Amino acid sequence: MRSAHSRIVALLFLLSAGRFLPIRLGGAQEGEEKGRDWSLLFDKTEAMIAARDGVKLHTEIYAPRDAKEALPIVLERTPYGINVDEKGFSRKLGRYAEMIPDDYIFVFQDIRGRYGSEGTFVMQRPVRDAKNPKAIDEGTDTYDTIEWLVKHVPRNNGRVGLLGISYGGWLTVMGMLEPHPALKAVSEQASPADMFLGDDFHHNGAFRLSYGFEYSTMMETDKTNFKFAFDRFDTYDWYLRLGPLANANAKYIHGMLPTWNDFVKHPNYDAFWKAQAMPYLLTKPKVPNLNVAGWWDQEDFYGPMKIYELLEKEDPDHLNYLAAGPWNHGGWGGGRGNSLGAIPFGSDTALYFRQKIEAPWFAYWLKNKGKLPVKEAVLFQTGSDKWVQFDAWPPREAKKRELYFREDGKLSFEAPTAASGGSEGFDSYVSDPAHPVPYRHRPIDMTYPDDHPGGWYTWLVEDQRFVEHRPDVLSWQTEELKEDVTLAGAVTAKLFAATTGSDSDWIVKLIDVYPENYPQKWQLSGYELMIADEVFRGRFRKSFERPEALTPGAVTPFAIDLHTANHVFKRGHRIMVQVQSTWFPIIDRNPQKFVPNIFEAKEADFVKATQKIYRSKEHPSSVEISLLQ
């Protein structure tokens, strides 16, 4: 039976952040898992577990049929359904193909208000007031579930592991805030950390339009997943025709979606957003936690990195760990992970994670088996395509260097001088909200299509040459690198910019430009691969709580966190930086005229603006990167 377990892998639907994405799990031949009969491996039990307020949560329990000893429990809670096969066994079992040989009791649960569970669903339900003994939240539901499991599931050893991806990752964090004594190990994977500053719904206050609209309609239209019916394939065109954000309610939503109503009510970083933000919730870790992130996660890269950073501030018992790899959102949970889009990685990175990191992690804490697979941070280094370990992340030995914008589209480690700023010391473009820069190749299909893989999953690795010569996108690049440049840690854009408007968005992208002749894979010749990127809404330059208009024409500094990366720019490549002011429709259009609430802006508020990016001695725009020697 164990040898059969070790060959588990297959075509099934991976539940990743609520979207059913066809993906292959594990390491066997394609099709081997398609006919897998889980009933030969597990006994299934269903239960409606009562939470402390009496609401009953639908739960499925899968116990190995040939177990010879008491086993630990692995729990996953989800808002996206348990997704059973034709025999009624959850396809989620395939996600744990590499853990099944170690023998666990797997438990899957619908959170309250979703699918088979009772109660009312609340998007990212706020943490309860601990002074109220009757109050509930996702943490108490987790606690009550574990309490019931350890008392009622036969032949469990009293140890529980908790994990999940995306919303499931957030549920994992909620479960470890006040952990049940039986909770011995968790793995937060791609959890959002702050929905206003860096995750699904906003980045630096800029609203993620297509994601926010499509996700809220999916989650809050009924108890199961719903798809909004677009009347055209290219959603770039649909969202542009929608016009100002106020039209979403006027034409389609009609005030019926709580989450959309919250977007409109809370355009700034107020108590509503802070109540669900990790900096206001997390203290020192109370249970071992493996944070997991994907370098090209199109939904929640900010989250796991921020959670790791916050927990690292006070970790005297060394319970906080990090793993990151070259994946999109949830890409480590299935398939081989030997490539993403057109970019190869030279090995099966997702399979490596599941076999060599995740499975040993839980075996160590739940079964006293083996040794810890992570000293502190284990990261896949893109560019060199190898796994590396660090004693701290970011590495303490990394040194800050500035890449300065220079005249004639050049990027240099040498700062501009009085004589090198060019005739005026800036580059400029006209940003027109009526003709925004697309964030990926058009046509832009819906975020989660049912009938094809969709471009959403790989847009962060798309070749950026599709916008390079637009008049509203500026580019600067180095000469061919004479030696490898190893980036390890923080990336920060430091812009000196001016606009003729009174508000503006700034999008900055750090790009690896491949050689024009690339014999390793000719399709990558001249490829422009984003390594780090971010948007910043200018009104929040002083405060996310209290936005202010920009002064038209004034040179204004902007520091934009492009987060963190672990990448080698290889000898013969170039480093490029791009700057633009629209990124549509993933980011809503800034009117470029200051209004109190962009969700209530009128069509007349949207105006063209001339943007200037300075590169002079007095105003040296740059991107600061962290380098290993």
What one-character DSSP code corresponds to residue 356?
Answer: I
- Helix and strand element counts for the chain (H, E): 12, 27
pLDDT the model gives residue 9: 29
pLDDT of residue 4: 33
What's the CATH class of domain 399-628? Answer: mainly beta
Q: Give φ, ψ of 262 to 5 degrees.
A: -65, -35
Residue 499 zone, left/alpha/beta (φ > 0; ψ -120 to 50; rest) = beta
The stretches of 368-424 forming alpha helices (DSSP H) are: none
pLDDT at 26: 31
One-letter identity of residue 423? S
Give, in order, the Cα–Cα distances in Å from 204 to each of 198, 200, 220, 425.
Answer: 6, 11, 25, 28
- pLDDT value at residue 334: 95
User: What percent helix, strand, coil does the chain show, rounded to 5?
Assistant: 25, 30, 45
Specify whether the CB–CB gap between 293 and 301 falls below 8 A: yes
How many Cβ atoms from other residues are within 10 Å of residue 110's Cβ?
A: 22
Q: Would you list the domain boundaries of the chain?
A: 2-193+277-390, 399-628
CA-closest candidate to residue 16, choices 112, 94, 105: 94
> In the numeric block, which tokens belong to residue 12?
């099934």
The whole-number pLDDT of residue 494 equals: 98
User: What pLDDT, on a 0 to 100 scale, did the predictor assign at position 585?
Assistant: 98
CA distances from 543 to 108, 280, 588 (A): 41, 17, 20
pLDDT value of position 34: 52
Q: What is the DSSP code (8-state) at residue 348?
A: -
Token code pair at residue 560 = 């934009």
Tell me which residues of the chain have a pLDDT lower than 50: 1-33
Q: Is 357 helix (H, G, I), strand (E, B) or coil?
A: helix
pTM > 0.95: no
Look-up of token digits 């200051």: 594
Task: Give the HSE-up count for residue 120: Cα atoms under 13 Å, Cβ half-sphere.
Answer: 5
pLDDT at 491 (0 to 100): 98
Tokens 């892998």 sit on residue: 9
Quote the DSSP letter at residue 124: T
List b or e across 352-368, with b for residues whose CB sees 16 or more CB atoms inside 10 angstroms.
bbbbebbbbbbbbbbbe
Using CA atoms in the order 305, 311, 314, 316, what is the torsion angle rounded to 10 degrees?
Answer: -100
Pairing of strands 19-26, 386-390: unpaired
Do residues 196 and 175 lie in contact, with contact meaning Cβ atoms separated by under 8 Å?
no
CA distances from residue 363 to 185, 317, 427, 486 in whole angstroms, order as listed: 10, 19, 56, 34
Neighbouring C-beta atoms of residue 624, cutoff 10 Å? 15
User: Which 8-state DSSP code applies to residue 468?
Assistant: H
**What is the secondary structure of 485-551 as a DSSP string?**
EEEEEEEEEEEEEEESSS--EEEEEEEEEPPS--TT-GGGTT-EEEEEEEEEEGGGSS-SSS-----
Residue 316 confidence (pLDDT): 96
Strands 556-569 and 426-431: unpaired
- CA–CA separation, 143 vs 50, rounded Å? 11
- What is the Cα–Cα distance from 216 to 122, expressed in whole angstroms? 11
pLDDT at res. 2: 34
CATH 3.30.470.20 fits 2-193+277-390, yes or no: no
User: For position 68, what pLDDT does the model report?
Assistant: 86
Decide if 2-193+277-390 and 399-628 have a common fold: no
